Chains A and B, each alone.
Chain A
Amino acid sequence: MTAVIDKPPVRERPPSRWAAPPRPVWEEEPSKAGLAGKGLVLTLACLGILFPLWIVIVTSLSSRKTIDQAGGLVMVPKGITFIAYKELLSGGQVTRAAVISILVTLVGTLFSMTVSVLCAYGLSRIGSLGHRWFLMLLLATMFFSAGLIPTYLLVQSLGLMDSYLALILPSAVSVFNILVLRGFFMGISQELIDSARIDGAGDFRILWQIVMPLSRAVLAVITLFYAVGYWSAWFNASLYLNEQDKMPLQNVMIQLVQKQQAPVGLGQAIKTGELSGLAVQMAVMVMALLPVAVLSPFVQKHFKKGMLTGAVKG
């Protein structure tokens, strides 16, 4: 081998975003075994989360033939078909449940956010009348709960049985979320608010035009929390709704997946042999996980900030 003299200058490539940043001089060279071990554990942890979701998604997209061949759940996609989704979304129980869930989530989240943001702003102006008392009133609820039975009797007495309001009102405000919002609002520069006030802005205008635009990150996080709460809720529906036709998606999923019932109005497609019941169950699960899985990564980068301005208790 001859040494290469005068190598032509290599064009500097920008460092890959996957590359490690430079190591401080005092830090030891990472050992091969250590790196491999770390990588292995992390990969396994991530696979442990993603693999089941993969199976669910692939099975929901498989035809009856593929599912029969696999003897149940499918791991390798073959002959993708959307027939399960087409059937589920062509009207009937699951379509109705999905629409109900979406509406409850939208209306509930809007209501919760309105009430919480207003309250958080009201309580963030320290020194206002009753501020301390109201705060105590909120904080105290983190220590006790009235109990299942009295709450149930109250909702019943209010005449909310079989009403969608029963899915929204009892859990509409989360004290934790209000405290997170309040903590964030309190961090906004007082001079800014004062100057707006001098310009003649009232509290509503200050909240809407100054405080909220500055709090987009935390608003996104809290909106996600509320939305996920409404989307995932099934217990209130099982307590307060008696009519099958009113059940939201999660409750229908319990019946389909856990109790292995066939969805109402789908018997035909399953009988003709085109569609596997398993694919239908998996499709319902995908419908339940999709909105959450799609939305949460976008808000993810704000989680840490949002969570830490609030309290420790989650």
Chain B
Amino acid sequence: MSHSTVPRSRAGADDRAGKAAAASDDTTATGKNRKKARTGKLSLRLRFRRDRVLLLMTLPAILLILLFNYLPILGNIVAFEDYDPYVSDNGIVSMLHSPWVALDNFQQLFADSAFWHAVQNTLVLFFLQLVLFFPVPILLALLINSVIRPRVRAVAQAVLYLPHFFSWVLVIAVFQQLFGGAGVLSQLLRRHGYNGLDIMTNPSTFKFLVTAEGIWKDAGWGIIIFLAALASVSPDLYEAAAMDGAGRWRRMWHVTLPALRPVIALLLVLRVGDALTVGFEQILLQRDAVGPGAAEVLDTFTWWNGVRNQDFGYAAAAGLIKGVVSLGLVLAANKVAHLMGEQGVYKK
């Protein structure tokens, strides 16, 4: 094992310095001075020598992140090119040799009614999910929380969490078995003399179907965070409220709901920040069944034009617009979260 030449008491101790915890490197200096002495005076070289093992540990993940999260950002220049994938087998070489068209792709995009249709579908779906999906985990959490038998709670939670771990392929296949043309619902209707019904291929109800699938898969999972918030409410508050004569419902209104309010507000803000992402895989899987008219959202629009039609420049332009607008939304949402005194995605 490595022997560092520089004594250190690192980590938690460093940040928690001031508390007595800092210990192992023992100089005559005390308290704050010691921290100063360490962080201020150590040269970069010494710190590197001290922390080289930690750096080595961090490195693989950082490299992967740089390679697959940061490097592709440069690839967005394709959006300003008339990208020709046939110049070379290598994407980067093609990128360098494709003609520059400045903002042509974007102009074309803004004149394309299909693009605006995708925008519209995205927003409608976002709105539906916000109104129909968002409250469900809250209500479920309130319900579960009001159940006091531990076994019942545990079983219900286990069942409700389960679909979160299913793949979208499986979820949609399951829905097809229920509501598809040969599904349980159709079977039932036909047995009673009605015509079969195929909800899975009906464009006019597609957005509700997508929302329902989302609820089935993830509403149960969403209750975790609310249950945690509820568990942290002091029972004294309930007792005090009861002593003051508040009934069951008033306690819910004046104790339980205020406890949930910060979490609800935060999740709401973050969800709005993520408005343009409405479920890529899920919708892509069903796009063929209902047609792009009802199912095309911004992500599938990018996929269709880029991967399917090999019109990379055009698709990258659409993807870039979505990315930039999303970034703005997320930053704004975080700002709002901070203004509300919450942490948001990162600490201030």
- The chain A residues found within 8 Å of chain B, CB to CB, are 17-21, 23-24, 26-28, 38, 41-42, 45-46, 48-50, 52-53, 55-56, 70-73, 75, 114-116, 118-119, 121-130, 134, 137-139, 141-154, 156-157, 169-173, 175, 178, 186, 190-191, 193-194, 197-198, 200-205, 207, 224, 228, 231-235, 239, 250, 253-254, 257-258, 278, 281-282, 285, 288-289, 292-293, 296-297, 300, 303-304, 307-308, 311-314
Q: In the assembly, what is the distance between CA of A145 and CA of B322, in Å?
A: 10
Per a CB cutoff under 8 Å, which of A38, A231, A239, A285 touches B143? A38
* B128: Cβ under 8 A from any A Cβ: no
The residue on A at minimum CB distance from B302 is A148
Question: When A26-B239, A153-B95, A253-B173 are in contact, do A198 and B54 touch as well, CB less than 8 Å?
Answer: no
Question: When A125-B10, A228-B165, A289-B166 are in contact, do A150 and B72 touch as well, CB less than 8 Å?
Answer: yes
Interface band, chain B: 35 or more
Q: Please report whether the interface of chain B is mostly helix, strand, loop or mixed according to DSSP.
A: helix
Tell me if A126 and B167 are in contact (CB < 8 A): no
Closest 5 CB pairs of A and B: A150-B75, A202-B1, A232-B167, A127-B14, A119-B61
The residue on A at minimum CB distance from B76 is A150
Tell me if A250 and B24 are in contact (CB < 8 A): no
**Stretch from B106-114, B115-123, B240-248, B252-260 at the A interface:** B240-248
Tell me if B176 and A257 are in contact (CB < 8 A): yes
Tell me if A134 and B58 are in contact (CB < 8 A): yes
* B82: Cβ under 8 A from any A Cβ: no
Q: In the assembly, what is the distance between CA of A254 and CA of B193, in Å?
A: 32
The smallest C-beta distance from B41 to any residue of chain A, in angstroms, reads: 14
Tell me if B156 and A42 are in contact (CB < 8 A): yes
* B295: Cβ under 8 A from any A Cβ: no
* B327: Cβ under 8 A from any A Cβ: yes
Chain A residues positioned under 8 Å from B69 (CB to CB): 141, 145-146
Tell me if B11 and A49 are in contact (CB < 8 A): no
Chain A residues positioned under 8 Å from B312 (CB to CB): 149, 153
Tell me if B306 and A56 are in contact (CB < 8 A): no
Question: When A18-B151, A150-B72, A154-B71 are in contact, do A121 and B170 touch as well, CB less than 8 Å?
Answer: no
- The chain B residues found within 8 Å of chain A, CB to CB, are 1-3, 9-16, 21, 23-24, 39, 44, 47-48, 50-51, 53-58, 60-62, 64-76, 78, 90-93, 95, 140, 143-144, 146-152, 155-163, 165-170, 172-178, 182-184, 186-187, 190-191, 216, 220-221, 224-225, 227-228, 235, 238-239, 242-243, 247-248, 263, 266-267, 270, 280-281, 284-285, 289, 299, 302-303, 306-307, 312, 315-316, 319-320, 322-323, 326-327, 330-331, 343, 345-346
Question: When A127-B15, A313-B270 are in contact, do A151 and B170 touch as well, CB less than 8 Å?
Answer: no
Q: In the assembly, what is the distance between CA of A179 and CA of B112, in Å?
A: 41
Q: In the assembly, what is the distance between CA of A259 and CA of B70, in Å?
A: 36
Per a CB cutoff under 8 Å, which of B48, B64, B68, B160 touches A46? B160
Question: When A45-B140, A257-B173 are in contact, do A122 and B54 touch as well, CB less than 8 Å?
Answer: yes
Tell me if B326 and A119 are in contact (CB < 8 A): no
Q: In the assembly, what is the distance between CA of A233 and CA of B281, in Å?
A: 10
Q: In the assembly, what is the distance between CA of A293 and CA of B171, in Å?
A: 13
Question: When A146-B69, A194-B13, A232-B166 are in contact, do A178 and B61 touch as well, CB less than 8 Å?
Answer: yes
Question: When A50-B159, A173-B65 are in contact, do A126 and B330 touch as well, CB less than 8 Å?
Answer: no
A49-B216, A296-B165 given; name 12 further pairs at CB < 8 Å: A21-B148, A26-B239, A73-B182, A119-B61, A122-B54, A126-B15, A142-B346, A147-B72, A154-B67, A186-B11, A235-B281, A292-B166
Q: In the assembly, what is the distance between CA of A168 and CA of B167, in Å?
A: 17
Tell me if B247 and A200 are in contact (CB < 8 A): no
Chain A residues positioned under 8 Å from B13 (CB to CB): 190, 194
The residue on A at minimum CB distance from B49 is A129
Tell me if B57 and A190 are in contact (CB < 8 A): no
Q: Which of A125, A128, A200 has the most CB of B within 10 A?
A: A128
Q: In the assembly, what is the distance between CA of A154 and CA of B247, in Å?
A: 61
